[in-house]
Structure 1
Amino acid sequence: MKIIHSCLAAALVVAGSPSKAAESWKPYVTSNGAMAGVQPIDAMMVVDCLLPGQMRRSGAMSYMGPRLPVKTTAQLCAMRGGEYTEYDRASMTSSLAVWMDKAKGGDATAQFYVGQIYEKGMDTAPDYEEAAKWYRKAAGSGSNEAKLSLAAMMESGRGMPVDTTAAVNLYREAMGITGDDLISADEANSRVAEVERRNAQLRSELAMQRAEADSQVKRLQGEVAALQSANASQQRDQKKMAALERSLKDAMTQRAEADRKLAEASDKPPGDQSGGLAQTRSVPAPLVSAGTAAPVAAKGVKFGKYHALIIGVQNYISYDPLKTPISDARAIADVLEKRYGFETTTLLDADFSSIVGGIVQLSTKIGPDDNVLIYFAGHGVLNAAQRGFWLPLDARQSERSPALPTETLAEFLAMFKARSVLVIADSCFGSALSGSVSSYTGGPAEYVDGIPSGYLSRRARYVLSSGGLSPVLDQAGDGHSVFASALLKVLRENDRILTQTGLERALVEPVRVSSQKIGIVQSPDLKKVREAGDAGGAFFLVPRSMPEKG
């Protein structure tokens, strides 16, 4: 029996953060058992902050230097005496006011941020032509992030005519590949034609498979109709038996629930006035791996330390429960820790506070040479404005429901010091994290000698979603989702140093075949997250033990 993630209607209204009065961080348990401080959630949101200028002295005269714009959390901005707009953080006007002076002064980072502000649009429609103008300025000032953003606009034709040749060459230039390695227009057109030929062949094969499936459906429908006519009395008996079995199961469930509540009531200490039989909902403490991350090296290359935040939300309070996220999360954490040397933190049935706290806690542990993997299994939604959200345990169908916007997650990732970050989202609309970027199919599939140094040195930010912007399967019969089952098999049996591209390629066919067997088309999708500061690097998965065969 197939069960599909309950992907919620796009018309539902979900907010980026809960009300200030109602929500605050729950204590976060660290690996040594200590409790982190209790912080308001809004204090950890990313803002455009103007720090005070330096106090300078020239001879007998003292004066204040220009204010410094930075992206940081509201809490750190306030602690450093900075200024930010508290209730209008998504306003284009307030964001431009922070960065424009420095951008006009020729600062590449500020020019890149101005381009992003115009491309996103924030509280108004995107201005792609203005975004392209500022990306060109930033690229000319040496910003590789701006080159990648401008190349993406060239590729998609936003703000300018489509120019695939210029886009490919700009992608390569951002990676440090120049001169004879740049491709000509004829070569680019030839590659495009080859891709179109393969797509046409794939469409033809899929059409044949669809026709064959339609034929089988018609035949099976006829057989079912015949059986229904011949066995009507038997079916009535089966329905009665099924009804009796359901009644028995319900009675056993009620008895087990009564036993549980009685046990909870017995465990209450004397004087507890909370009511032993009251139904409550608790959030399990984070599960932290026993060891700390150690640097990983292979083939004479130092890949850095690896950290993972694994999130599985299953037993929702206000939405339909799912079947596999908890077992998926536990299994993914286990294989990452044992086979790939990750230091893992696992959040099961986590509420909004726990998820945000886990992300912030993770950001404090990572260095500039480290690698981070974030895995999320749970409900995902897309609202009317096409903004994506991850739903925590305490998500509600209301205007102020706590939900994590994927664009806010991207801002957190941009602040991470890590060299590479890979987000794996096994949820509906998982690729919404990438914004408007098209699917990414480039780069090497694995580490090989002679690989361009940029893949190892530049920042990498990717999202690998289980089904792009489509509904995905929750359960396929083996206790895991279709995607998680394929991911676990690849991770357990892999004996190569895979990149994010190699991982995605290894997953596409198994997920497609498994989903088609139960009547759903699902295909993993890999995208860059430019908003998180991707600069053309790669995420490497380095196995540290022998593969598990069989």
Structure 2
Amino acid sequence: MMPSQKSTCAKYRAMKINYASYLLITCFIFLGCVNDPAEYQRRAGEIEQVRNLSDADKFFIVDCLLPGQIRKLGREAIYMTARIPIKTSALDCEEQGGEYVAYNQANKATALQYWLPAAQEGNAEAQVYVGEIFAKGQDTPPDYKSAAEWYRKAAAQGNSRARINLGYLYEKGLGVEKNLAAATELYKKASGFDKENLDYIATLSTTSDSTASPAVTGSHKPVIEIIDPPVSMVRGVPIVKIRSAVKERDIIGRVTDPSGITSLTINDAQNALDAQGKFKSSISIKGDKTPISIVAINKEGGRQNLEFMLAIDDFLNSEPVEAALPLNVINPWKDLEFGNYYALIIGNSDYEKLPDLDTPDEDARAVDSILKSKYGFTTQLLINANRYQLLSALNELRTKLTENDNLLIYYAGHGELDKTNERGQWLPIDAEINNTANWVSNIDVTDILNTMNAKHIIVVADSCYSGAMTRTAIPRIEADLSQKQKLETVKVMIKTKSRTSLTSGGEEQVMDGGGGGHSIFAKAVIDALQNNQGLLEAQQLFDTVSDIVIPVARANSITQTPEYAPIKNAGHDGGEFLFIAI
């Protein structure tokens, strides 16, 4: 029997508790670790204000305009400073006497009214937000040209977020001429690799043409991704640096296309794809530079080409050749300060008005167990969470986490793609299929992540998570580097903010079973975390999970392709989420 499926882009038995018990649990969530009496009273006031489920909207992030301050100049002159725009929850805005437009009533005009004056005065953060307002469009079509102009102003002031956003526009050719070299240079500066004189090495891939018309034969092109080795940009050319002693270099990649692939050639030689859509080719090194050309053609005639270079590097030749030392050896990383690790784990199986799911609650418990026991996470487990519980837990983390913290959010449950705005939605147990009132938009979750102080955040969703960028904005650790270089690379990654998502699929249906009591995605995640013995990049986790999920789903006549990328507009600065076994 084919495993059941979650609803598109997707998992707490409904707790039968009375109102008094509900308030007790709420009090614990809000007040559990508060020592300061004044802070305790403030939190208690918040509980009173949001005691009704309908007040959960107060947890959403809004553009808030705080009152100006009354200041005195000299003995007699008294003046009012300009009002200050911030992004915070509606509840916090109210407490600070701020002005805001309800989250579901805001539009481009109201957002610009709050942020444009500060941007025009040269505030880099405001300039980034104005650029994002134009890029989102909100109630109007996106204006990427204007977005690029504001990003440039903020990037010129050294703002990392602006550099990431502008790099994305260059990589995709949105509002600017497409330029991968310019994009990679911006990513490098944002991540801090330029300051440490390190190569910025990342995943090289083509991008899907989302504007292609399905009615035009051959208009849709395959996506080619190089899994190993990662690639750096040298004077605008994608380069893989190698030692002169190397005679051959394996190239491992993946080709994806909804219609299927009819032909794949690497340097004009035919190459086969395995069940995961992956290919492997051993390339003979010829001279100082060996060009690589990969061409994929889909069943509709769409053709995609990806080119890069294998180049002998003098610096690598000067480095001592070390015995192979895999990244997951524990000892090299034990003295690095990775910070504190937290996780919010949500598993929704028993729905009030939607079909129940088989595995999310057990998936969540298993993820919770391994994160605590093997990785030292402090976890909060929500089984069968309603909208209020989900949002209040996120809001509590928003107020609690510091710049020394890492956060993993795991969601398993029903999800939907809201066709009116193409936004992914998580469905709590009190959600209704034809009523979006209790749905939780991925965009709203992203807005909450954007206001968190945590250094690194990853969303792992057995579902979709809309609003992704490209993996070029995430640095990689090259296996051929010396151990000293690897340590320096990891140090930079630790210091640089990251906001990424690992999802079980895109817009397609995803499997609710297939993993022996778990979903196939959850089983793959659990096994990969269990098998790791040291340092694990989230991209490595993604590669491992993809290799397991894709063929199992295909064997059940389901197209399910996991995805991993930075989250757009969440504050990604070019870092990476790192798991370290204890």
TM-score, normalization: structure 2?
A: 0.70
Equivalents in 2 of 1:122, 1:173: separation in Å? 29
Residue among 337, 342, 358 paired with 1:307: 342
Greater CA drift, 336-345 or 451-460: 451-460
The one-letter code matched in structure 2 to 1:105 is E
Contact 1:145–1:530 at 8 Å: present in 2 too?
Answer: no
The one-letter code matched in structure 2 to 1:408 is D
- For each residue in 1:439-486, what CA deviation from the matched residue of structure 2 results, as whole angstroms up to 9, or x when unmatched? 558422599422164311121110000113322111005000001111
Contact 2:276–2:551 at 8 Å: present in 1 too?
Answer: no
Matched, 1:55 2:43: no
Contact 1:443–1:501 at 8 Å: present in 2 too?
Answer: no
The one-letter code matched in structure 2 to 1:128 is Y
Deviation at 1:196, TM superposition (A): 11
Distance 1:198 1:357, change over 3 A: closer
What is the CA RMSD across the aligned residues, in angstroms? 3.0
Equivalents in 2 of 1:170, 1:32: separation in Å? 40
Deviation at 1:517, TM superposition (A): 3.0
Deviation at 1:495, TM superposition (A): 0.5
Alignment-derived partner of residue 28 in structure 1: 26
The one-letter code matched in structure 2 to 1:498 is L
Alignment-derived partner of residue 369 in structure 1: 404
Matched, 1:444 2:476: yes
| 1:237-386 alignment, distance < 5 Å | 298-384=333-419, 385-386=421-422
The one-letter code matched in structure 1 to 2:272 is E
Equivalents in 2 of 1:396, 1:124: separation in Å? 28
SS in 2 for 1:71: strand
- For each residue in 1:307-335, what CA deviation from the matched residue of structure 2 results, as whole angstroms up to 9, or x when unmatched? 11000011112222111001100000011
Contact 2:9–2:507 at 8 Å: present in 1 too?
Answer: no
In our comparison, the structure showing a higher alpha carbon Rg is 1
The one-letter code matched in structure 1 to 2:560 is Q
SS in 2 for 1:531: coil
- For each residue in 1:147-173, what CA deviation from the matched residue of structure 2 results, as whole angstroms up to 9, or x when unmatched? 000101111111122111111111112
Equivalents in 2 of 1:517, 1:176: separation in Å? 43
SS in 2 for 1:521: coil
Distance 1:357 1:8, change over 3 A: same
Matched, 1:42 2:68: no
Residue among 536, 548, 552 paired with 1:514: 552
Equivalents in 2 of 1:131, 1:298: separation in Å? 40
SS in 1 for 2:352: coil
Alignment-derived partner of residue 205 in structure 1: 272
Q: What are the ranges of 5 or more consecutive residues in structure 1 without an aligned counterpart?
A: 11-23, 211-296, 545-550
Equivalents in 2 of 1:396, 1:495: separation in Å? 42
Higher strand share: 2
Contact 1:5–1:379 at 8 Å: present in 2 too?
Answer: no
Contact 2:411–2:461 at 8 Å: present in 1 too?
Answer: yes
- For each residue in 1:188-227, what CA deviation from the matched residue of structure 2 results, as whole angstroms up to 9, or x when unmatched? 3899xx99986435996349999xxxxxxxxxxxxxxxxx
Alignment-derived partner of residue 503 in structure 2: 465
Higher helix share: 1
Distance 1:493 1:197, change over 3 A: closer
Contact 2:192–2:496 at 8 Å: present in 1 too?
Answer: no
- For each residue in 1:271-294, what CA deviation from the matched residue of structure 2 results, as whole angstroms up to 9, or x when unmatched? xxxxxxxxxxxxxxxxxxxxxxxx
SS in 1 for 2:370: helix
Deviation at 1:74, TM superposition (A): 0.9
Contact 1:328–1:481 at 8 Å: present in 2 too?
Answer: yes
Residue among 157, 160, 163 paired with 1:144: 160
Equivalents in 1 of 2:496, 2:453: separation in Å? 12
Contact 1:2–1:473 at 8 Å: present in 2 too?
Answer: no
The one-letter code matched in structure 1 to 2:70 is M
Alignment-derived partner of residue 253 in structure 1: none
Deviation at 1:31, TM superposition (A): 7.0
Distance 1:28 1:67, change over 3 A: same
Deviation at 1:87, TM superposition (A): 6.8
Residue among 540, 561, 565 paired with 1:523: 561
- For each residue in 1:501-539, what CA deviation from the matched residue of structure 2 results, as whole angstroms up to 9, or x when unmatched? 121122221222322333323232111013111111121
Distance 1:101 1:510, change over 3 A: same
Distance 1:53 1:27, change over 3 A: same
Contact 1:25–1:354 at 8 Å: present in 2 too?
Answer: no
Equivalents in 2 of 1:463, 1:492: separation in Å? 20
Equivalents in 1 of 2:150, 2:30: separation in Å? 47
Alignment-derived partner of residue 575 in structure 2: 537
Contact 1:490–1:507 at 8 Å: present in 2 too?
Answer: yes
- For each residue in 1:236-288, what CA deviation from the matched residue of structure 2 results, as whole angstroms up to 9, or x when unmatched? xxxxxxxxxxxxxxxxxxxxxxxxxxxxxxxxxxxxxxxxxxxxxxxxxxxxx
Greater CA drift, 490-499 or 358-367: 358-367
Equivalents in 2 of 1:43, 1:209: separation in Å? 44
Equivalents in 1 of 2:99, 2:461: separation in Å? 34
Distance 1:498 1:475, change over 3 A: same
SS in 1 for 2:549: helix
Alignment-derived partner of residue 77 in structure 1: 93
Equivalents in 2 of 1:514, 1:121: separation in Å? 39
Alignment-derived partner of residue 130 in structure 2: 114
Residue among 237, 249, 256 paired with 1:187: 237
Greater CA drift, 361-370 or 25-34: 25-34
Deviation at 1:33, TM superposition (A): 9.2
Equivalents in 2 of 1:400, 1:411: separation in Å? 18
- For each residue in 1:64-91, what CA deviation from the matched residue of structure 2 results, as whole angstroms up to 9, or x when unmatched? 0111110011111111111112376431
Contact 2:468–2:566 at 8 Å: present in 1 too?
Answer: no
Distance 1:392 1:440, change over 3 A: farther
Contact 1:26–1:354 at 8 Å: present in 2 too?
Answer: no
Alignment-derived partner of residue 392 in structure 1: 428
Deviation at 1:132, TM superposition (A): 0.8
Greater CA drift, 444-453 or 313-322: 444-453
Contact 1:155–1:164 at 8 Å: present in 2 too?
Answer: yes
How much identity, in percent, do the aligned residues show? 34
TM-score, normalization: structure 1?
A: 0.74
Equivalents in 2 of 1:536, 1:509: separation in Å? 25
Contact 1:462–1:526 at 8 Å: present in 2 too?
Answer: yes
Deviation at 1:359, TM superposition (A): 1.0
Matched, 1:156 2:194: no
Equivalents in 1 of 2:537, 2:198: separation in Å? 26
Equivalents in 2 of 1:196, 1:506: separation in Å? 13
The one-letter code matched in structure 2 to 1:100 is L
Equivalents in 2 of 1:208, 1:364: separation in Å? 45
Equivalents in 2 of 1:398, 1:510: separation in Å? 34
Deviation at 1:187, TM superposition (A): 2.1
Greater CA drift, 479-488 or 495-504: 495-504
Equivalents in 2 of 1:445, 1:30: separation in Å? 41
Alignment-derived partner of residue 227 in structure 1: none
The one-letter code matched in structure 1 to 2:121 is G
Aligned residue pairs, count: 439
Equivalents in 2 of 1:421, 1:319: separation in Å? 30
Distance 1:374 1:165, change over 3 A: same
Equivalents in 2 of 1:168, 1:62: separation in Å? 49
SS in 2 for 1:205: coil
Deviation at 1:54, TM superposition (A): 1.8
